Amino acid sequence: MPRTFDGSVGWPVLRARFADRLPPPTLAALDAAVAFAVERHGDQRRPAGEPYVEHLLEALEVLVEAVGERDPGTLCAAVLHDVVEDTPTTLDEVRERFGPRVAELVGWVTKQGDREAYLAALRDAPDAALAVKLADRVSNVQRLRTHPRPAKRASYYRETVATIVPLAAGRPWFEAWYRDWQAEHADLERLDGGQP
């Protein structure tokens, strides 16, 4: 069974856990990113009803605790990865507050226009942007069975296997996690609209 990440513990708890792994300047940058994300996402909820910020913290937790990422720009981008796509925030605002590199990474993982074109473009994304996307999808699919719509569970499973799992190639932790996840959810491959 693949490891599950839990953003419901909140930023103060995760921050305390990260304190022996990340230097004070990185933690301070994350303080600012989390505060910005909380402000911008407001009371948004995920499909299963949990506060949106929990998803952002899970993506961050994947990178820090599982992958061992220490780059502050990559970690801030993980927290901010949906702020342009899902709120009125612009990339210019992200650039102004967090710098050009964070804005670039957020830009790579922001879906604009056609979903298939967006997913195909990820094949050319820089390594740091791919790490953010892979961590984002870990959070999205780790509890896929809690999604309220069975048809969406099946289609999202198939999309993940077809377009995201290949991006994990050459990244040992992600490769292993997605392999275990795929095996555990293989029954979704056979579902169409929630019917076997």
Q: How far is CA 191 from the centre of its chain?
A: 25
Residue 82 annotated among the catalytic residues of the structure: no
- Pair 58, 138: CB distance under 8 Å: yes
Catalytic residue among 31, 39, 85, 116: 85
- Pair 118, 136: CB distance under 8 Å: no
Cα–Cα distance for residue pair 7/2, rounded to 1 Å: 16
Catalytic residue among 86, 93, 104, 175: 86
Residue 50 annotated among the catalytic residues of the structure: no
- Pair 54, 8: CB distance under 8 Å: yes
Could you list the active site residues?
85-86
